[in-house]
Amino acid sequence: MGTISIDTHTNGFQTAQDRLQELKAFDETKTGVKGLVEAGVESLPKIFIRPPDELLEESKTPCVQLELPVIDLSGIDEKDRYSEIVKEVLKAAEEWGFFQVVNHGVPLEILDKMIEGIRLFYEQDDYVKKQFYSRDFTKQVTFLSSFDLYTSRAANWRDTLAVQTLHADLDPQKLPPMCRDVMLVYIDHVLKLADNLLELVSVALGLRPDYLKEMECSKGWSLVNHYYPACPEPELTLGASKHTDPAFLTILLQDHIGGLQVLHKNQWVDVRPLRGAFIVNIGDMLQIISNDKLKSVHHRVTANSVGPRISTAFLLKGRLSSPRLYGPIAELLSENDKPPVYTEFTLREFASSFYSRPLDEPGLGYYKVRNNGDGK
């Protein structure tokens, strides 16, 4: 393996050309952030350091001790309990955009094995991982660090193994051998949970139980498996920048370390790891088709001095080849008091827009209806 030559923040200023060279040097190692740690980096390379204005703003945004709503799915087959769960989902989706679910039907053993399978991928020999390293997002399986590496203001302190079926059905042979079996079992379980959640959200919106499934919200999906190594200077960077998800719905499993934060009423809230739970959040596309009734809220992951932290996010995105136009659902609109807030789009247009901008750059505004030409 070649020598990693990454400048650290010893002299403060970095030109655009210097930054580009460092980004390329980092990218070309094909070993990600974990490779930096293994190379013995003791201070944070400049490409990961957040801009001064962002760090200053950080000091003005408080972090408060609140608990994310937790929804117990046990008894969901009972009529009265089902109605209560629907109400809980609607309240959490409107007020938080996030909630945790327990007693969801996925065995704890499968959750533990999935986390361990992701760990095994990242902790194998570099030459095996490099076979998956790519920035070609049409590939079904890719390993990389910071998908927006060359457009972001600061790289994120994490590596990602991504699996996606946005273009075609999953080919199991393309999955990494050391975690293939558990991934297939996990995906099967989470897709069943996804159908249940889409039904609950449909009913919460006053629609038919199968409405969102028939819109093919879960037809295509991405499974993004993150590895956050311990960081030498976590206060200067982030594991994942503030962002919203380019999806209808996200189902997240995280390990015991934590670091996920949700922006609630302009305050950061730590999402405390709850063993055996999934974190569910509303994505941009669900906010759009619900005409702003449900909220896709900002969230991020802090860097930690301990690690690695492992998480796996299952994003329901639909199939990019679909010609269907997505926009506010007609049944949720009325001419007088509930006009459409957003224009229609194809999933391919939505994905193209997302990958053309940095992770922390909001995208919902692009689809807003423009009133009277004033751009508001």
- 7 is a domain residue: no
**Domain enclosing residue 347, as ranges:** 16-367
- 245 is a domain residue: yes
Cβ atoms < 10 Å from Cβ of 265: 9
Domain containing residue 107: CATH number? 2.60.120.330
Q: State the virtual CA torsion across 304, 305, 307, 311 in degrees, nearest 10.
A: 0
Instruction: Give the pLDDT of residue 267.
Output: 92
- 274 is a domain residue: yes
- 10 is a domain residue: no
Q: What is the mean pLDDT of each run of 10 residues along the chain (376 residues)?
A: 43 75 96 96 95 86 89 95 98 97 97 98 94 94 94 95 94 96 98 98 97 94 97 96 94 96 94 96 96 95 95 95 93 89 91 78 80 40
Instruction: Give the pLDDT of residue 21.
Output: 95
Number of structural domains found in the chain? 1
- 123 is a domain residue: yes
Angle at CA of residue 261, ends 36 and 246, nearest 5°: 85
Instruction: Give the pLDDT of residue 14.
Output: 66
- 372 is a domain residue: no
Q: Strand, coil or helix: what is 262?
A: strand
Q: State pTM to two decimals.
A: 0.92
In angstroms, the Cα distances linking 158 to 6, 222, 278, 307, 365 are: 16, 17, 21, 11, 28
Instruction: Give the pLDDT of residue 364.
Output: 82
- 239 is a domain residue: yes
Instruction: Give the pLDDT of residue 3.
Output: 38
- 22 is a domain residue: yes
Q: How far apart are CA 34 and CA 39, in angstroms?
A: 9
Angle at CA of residue 314, ends 96 and 346, nearest 5°: 85
